[in-house]
Amino acid sequence: MSPPLKVTIAQLLKVKNTHYDKLVHELSQSTKTGLSELDSWKLNFSNTLKSRHMTSSTDPESFQISKEELLKLIDWKLKKGKFRPTLRSLVNQNSEDTIVSTIQQAFTLFLATQSQANGKSQYLDLVKQTITILVKLRGIGPATASLILSLLNKITNKAPPFFSDEAAMLVLTTNAKLKYNLKEYLEYVDWFYELNGKFQFNNEELEQGVWCLGIGKQLYGEDYLLIEQETIKVDSGIKRKTPDQESAKTSSRSERAAKRRKPN
């Protein structure tokens, strides 16, 4: 068993603010997938949903995600994380009406009930209920459902984090291959709740900080990221590298990043 990631909110926000944009850009350049542009769209889409929510009192049908938008979110997920060749085609089999109504049902439940979810147990139960609705869509598992639900982060800080590949590998206390099931996702949300249970901070930004730690380690083989004079430990057995080792490592970064999973 691997120990869960030990880190503070302040450290994660510093990691996110310092490294997120640079890592997304480097990943986009190395894989030539256009991730940077898609990531910018995805980050702004939460604001789009917030605007739609604000007008939903007079136009209830405006607070929705279309099939085209959902497929674009799938593209973002596949380009940023592990590539799953059948995912997009499976999601595409859902009708427009089914996608819109299912996501509206999940959003309505979460936003209407969140204020009553006092304490970790009730919060995790609400997340479970909402994810259970979303996974009724063809091709949508807990990880993709978490992406959809996380888009409420500009409406409420209670929106749970996206179950990203790189963050999950650091947060979950297992050396086994991840199953990406609901049980694992609730363990993942539990970790964020312990960190941010008062919901004073945006879980999306915290997840981005953990993602930076995970993708940095994956791309460059690093066990830590230096933030000013702080070292954030992501697993045991960290060995600090000498300046010569750092110089040699830096010269090969782009080559190693280019080998990261690409669509066939």
Q: Tokens standing for 156?
A: 């409420």
Please, are residues 63 and 107 in contact by the beta-carbon 8 Å criterion? yes
Instruction: Spell out the domain ranges in the chain.
Output: 9-258
pLDDT of residue 78: 95
CA 98, distance to chain mean position in Å, is 24
Considering the chain, what percentage of its residues have pLDDT values greater than 70? 81
Lowest mean pLDDT segment, chosen from 23-27, 58-62, 210-214: 58-62
Q: How many CB atoms lie within 10 A of CB 249?
A: 14
pLDDT of residue 152: 98
Backbone angles phi, psi at 230, to 5 degrees: -100, 140
Bigger pLDDT: 253 vs 17: 17
**How large is the average pLDDT for residues 19-31?**
92
pLDDT of residue 228: 41
This prediction has a pTM of 0.86
Give 98-136 pLDDT, tens digit per residue. Answer: 999 999 999 999 999 999 999 999 999 999 999 999 999
36 pLDDT more than 90: yes
